[in-house]
Each structure stands twice: as C-alpha cells, then as structure tokens.
Amino acid sequence: MHSPFSTNFQPIPYWHDGVKMPRTSAGKPPKSVDICIIGAGYTGLTIGLELLRAGKSVAIFDAMKLGHGASGKNGGMIGPSLHKLGLTGLTKIYGQAKAHDILQEGIHAIEYFKKFIEQENIDCDLAMTGRFRGVNNQQDLDNLASECETLSKLIGFQYKVVSHQDIHTEIGSDHYHSGVVYGLDGGLHPQKLVAALAKKILDLGGYIFEQSRVTNISQTKLIHHVETAKGNLQAGELVMATNGYTKKFSTGAQKPKFSAFYNKLLPITSAMIATETLPEAVINKLFPKRRMHGGNHRLVQYYRPSPDGKRVLFGARGVDFFDRANINGKNLKSLLDKIFPELQPIKIDYSWSGKVAYTFDHVPHIGKQDGIYYAMGYCGSGVTRSVYLGKKLSMQILGQEDSQTSFDDLNFQSKPFYNGSPWFLPIVLKWHGFLDRRG
C-alpha cells in the first residue's frame, strides 16, 4: 500500500494550523479566587466567562496548551445531539416523561448555542448547513424516517428523507442506499471558538493558565485548596471541566476528590484526518450542499468539508487509547476511501486525535458532588452540549433561576471494579468493526 501521507504531512490538528491563540496568563496564580476551574475546553471557558460577567474572580487551569483538549480538535459538528439510545432506549431507562425532557433539551441546547455565538459576535465559521446521515438499505431508511417523524411531533425535530434515487443530490458517493437530512445541524471551526472564548475571559481580567496541571485538591470548611504546576491557590468554589481527560489524583495527604469522577467516565480516543487541498469541483461533487455527514455504522464515522471548502475532514474511533497519528491516519484514510473511492490517490496533510468521555448511562452529567461542581460525559457530542451545560452550571453556581436541566437528577454512576481505564473497549470496538463489515 502506498503511503497515505503527503510530503507536507503534520501530526497536528488541521484546526491548529493558522489560528492565532490569545496570550494566556503568565507567572504565578493569585493567592485566592472566587472560582477555580480545572480544564480550559468549552465547558471550563463558558463557565468562566459567565462567572466573570457576574463579577466573580476566576482562574482556569489546563494541563495542556490551550485548544489541545477535545474542544480545539473536534469535528466542529453541532446539532441537538440526539441521544445515542434514541427515544425507545431512553424511555426504557428513564420513562416517557424524562426521555421527552432529555430530547427536548437537545433542541434548547442548539437554539441557545446559535444565539450565544451570534450575541457574543464570535467568528468561528458557523454555518447551519444541516447534516446528512446515510443508511445502507430501505429497511434502515424506513426505521430512521419513522424515528425522525416521532421526534418531529414530540420535540419539533426537523428532518427530510432522501430517497435512493435522490442520493446524489446529497453526496457524491454510492456508499449509501439513501438517508435523512437533519435540519437543525451545522458546522464550525472548533479552535476559533476556543480562541474567542479564551480572549473574552482574558479581556475581562480572568486568569487562564495553560500547561498548568492541577495536581491535587483538598477542602477545609468552605475553602478549596488547589495545587497546580504553577503554584497553589485557594478558591471559594471549584469546577471540574475535564471531560475525557479526567484522571485520578496521585498526590496529596487527603483522599483526592478527583476520584469522585474518573471512574464514572469511559475515555475514548476519537481521531481525525484532513486531506490535501482539493479542487472546488471535487468538493462540490462530494458534498453538493456542503453539509456535515455521517452514516449508521456501529463505529461512528463523521466527515465534512473544511469551512473554507478546500479539504475533506474525516473522523472515527482511534485504534487504542494513545495519540497515534500514523496508525490512525492510515486506518481513517482507508475508511474514507470506501465512502469516496475517487479520493484514493489523494493524500492526507493532517492526522490527530483527542479524548471524548462516555458515561455508563449514555447521558451527560451536571451538578455538584463532594462540594465540587462538574459538567461532563458528553458521549462524543459535546460541542453544543458543553457550551449549553456550561451556561447552566454557571447559573447553578450563581444560584440563578431557570438553571435546572433534565440531567440534574440523574444518577452519575460507576460500575463495580471499574477503575477509570476501559481496558475492554478495544475488544468491543473490534467486535463492532466486525459487525459493521458484515453489514
């Protein structure tokens, strides 16, 4: 097999190339702040912004460089984040009323998200193009169309069925039999959103310390003591916004409170590639409506044109827990070639990966536990949800009205003997891959 990598290949996110990031806080952290936030992704940044606007002092710490968590690396696909379990699955676990509330909140989340970007005047290439979801046969189409119809009546979900004969109006490929267009979806440039949120926080006098891991936390009475790579500080409130990067603390005299979260999340590697630049005519043929795209494989695959309309960006699960630009790049390119055989001679310029966080009940969780606020577990659909739940959590911290969500009272559960390291996932992924190949 020829190498799929171009001579310009870089093992970095396509999104990081050419985006100017704001200069973050230097020196030591202040002695104390009203609120300390761990994690400078969308969750942490959104919460920080809202709290600063309410007059609180805020310090945000991130172990990595700004935008090197999932928020600066994702596919940039947004939408109501319809639940993985679907209406039937949700109803089975939570009953009809709760299932309805959870799905309805997805619609609120995307409406809030769009308004937020507009009101904040954030330039992040937001384009509400819709998303095409391809299926393999008429039976799958009938099932998907029927679920969409139910959701349309129940929560105002917008969709359009695309029949077999019309498939090429949506995608320049014979890979799918037919599909459905999700009307409320769209795309953006993820790193531009991180940069814009961070700049607003810094302009308002908030602190963002990057490459500053929080190494331990402890609590006495109403004060949180936070130890970081850049120095220690005290905080009135502490927020965990670490999602797929949540880990157990290894140091500290007291029982680390991080332990309360790490074993409730299943970190999974999601990987992406970006092709070389392509002629406009090719992009127009492959993506006639410039929509976001996905299929109905068990192993999620998602793809789209880049916001400038010059490249194809493709994402799927990584092969294991590590950032393996090379192996993931090859694997993803072969999956992309199956959908668009005409891209076979095209090379890839970028390959990267990051961590998403699944939960045992497939829903995000938000609230306060052991004195620590948290919002996390977006199950791979976190762009819209993190901004929305970040807003809600900031309202809960401020004690504001209308801060409640349908996720507040859900049990954020772990499983017996689960230690935060999902050793079983590669086996599950292999099995799902086998089922996908079998059709």
Ligand X SMILES: Cc1cc2nc3c(=O)[nH]c(=O)nc-3n(C[C@H](O)[C@H](O)[C@H](O)COP(=O)(O)OP(=O)(O)OC[C@H]3O[C@@H](n4cnc5c(N)ncnc54)[C@H](O)[C@@H]3O)c2cc1C
CB of 296 vs ligand X, minimal distance in Å: 16
Q: Which of residues 202-221 bind ligand X (CB under 6 A)?
A: 213-214
CB of 96 vs ligand X, minimal distance in Å: 26
CB of 186 vs ligand X, minimal distance in Å: 11
Neighbours of 24 (CB within 10 A): 19
CB of 166 vs ligand X, minimal distance in Å: 25
Per-residue x/- track, 147-186, ligand X (CB under 6 A): ----------------------------------------
For ligand X, which is the closer residue by CB, 214 or 335? 214
Residue among 16, 70, 60, 65 at smallest CA distance from 39: 60
Q: Which residues contact 109 (CB under 8 A, 6 or more apart)?
A: 80, 81, 384, 385, 388, 389
Residue among 405, 391, 409, 423 at smallest CA distance from 119: 391
- Structural contact between residues 337 and 224, judged by C-beta atoms closer than 8 angstroms: no
Binding piece for ligand X, criterion CB under 6 A, among 70-78, 87-95, 153-161, 259-267: 70-78
Neighbours of 259 (CB within 10 A): 13
Q: Which of residues 262-321 bind ligand X (CB under 6 A)?
A: 270, 272, 302, 315
Interface residue with ligand X, options 24, 71, 216, 406 (CB under 6 A):
71
How many residues bind to ligand X according to rule CB under 6 A?
43
Q: How far apart are CA 148 and CA 155, in angstroms?
A: 10
For ligand X, which is the closer residue by CB, 161 or 425? 425
20: tokens are: 């100017």
Per-residue x/- track, 26-45, ligand X (CB under 6 A): ------------xxxxxxx-
Of all residues in the shown chain, the one whose CB is closest to ligand X is: 382
Scanning the structure block, which residue is given the tokens 């109501």? 80
CB of 64 vs ligand X, minimal distance in Å: 4
Interface residue with ligand X, options 386, 394, 396, 405 (CB under 6 A):
386
Per-residue x/- track, 77-106, ligand X (CB under 6 A): x-----------------------------
Name all contacts of 162-170 with Cβ < 8 Å and 24+ positions apart: 162/132, 164/138, 167/134, 168/288, 169/288, 169/289, 170/132, 170/288, 170/289, 170/291
For ligand X, which is the closer residue by CB, 77 or 286? 77
For ligand X, which is the closer residue by CB, 66 or 135? 66
Q: Please give the sequence-ordered ranges of beta strands (E in DSSP) within 299-436, or none if there are none.
A: 301-305, 312-317, 348-359, 365-369, 372-376
Q: Which residues contact 170 (CB under 8 A, 6 or more apart)?
A: 132, 162, 179, 181, 288, 289, 291
Q: Is 381 in the site for ligand X (CB under 6 A)?
A: yes
CB of 109 vs ligand X, minimal distance in Å: 10
102: tokens are: 């959870």
Q: Which residues bind ligand X (CB under 6 A)?
A: 38-44, 61-64, 69-71, 73-77, 213-214, 241-245, 247, 270, 272, 302, 315, 353-356, 376, 378, 380-384, 386
